[in-house]
Amino acid sequence: MGLHQKVHQGHRLDENALRLEIGDVLWFIAELCDVYGWSMEDVARLNIQKLRNRYHDEFTVEESVNREEYREKKKEPVRNRYYAKGARA
């Protein structure tokens, strides 16, 4: 389907096809949670907490590129060329 192609190259997005693909992803996540004995609710809650800790009030490209965990590990982040011009997610 190529979401990048749809969003960044001006192609029409087929929302029905996207909905079907997201359904597949949900089933995969549900199966993975089942294997490990996790609830999807707990996984979602932990993800929200992680993002709040990382971005506080709102997402910014600057905070994403210069995340604390990169500084702690002295590791260079992977540069995402699609957000290089300050676009917001």
Q: Report the run of H or E that residue 20 belongs to, with start and end.
A: helix 15-36
- The pLDDT, as a whole number, for residue 88 is 47
Complete DSSP assignment for 22-89? HHHHHHHHHHHHHHHT--HHHHHHHHHHHHHHHHTTS--HHHHHT-HHHHHHT-PPPP-GGGTT----
Could you tell me what percent of the chain has a pLDDT over 70?
67
pLDDT of residue 28: 96
Position with higher pLDDT, 82 vs 69: 69
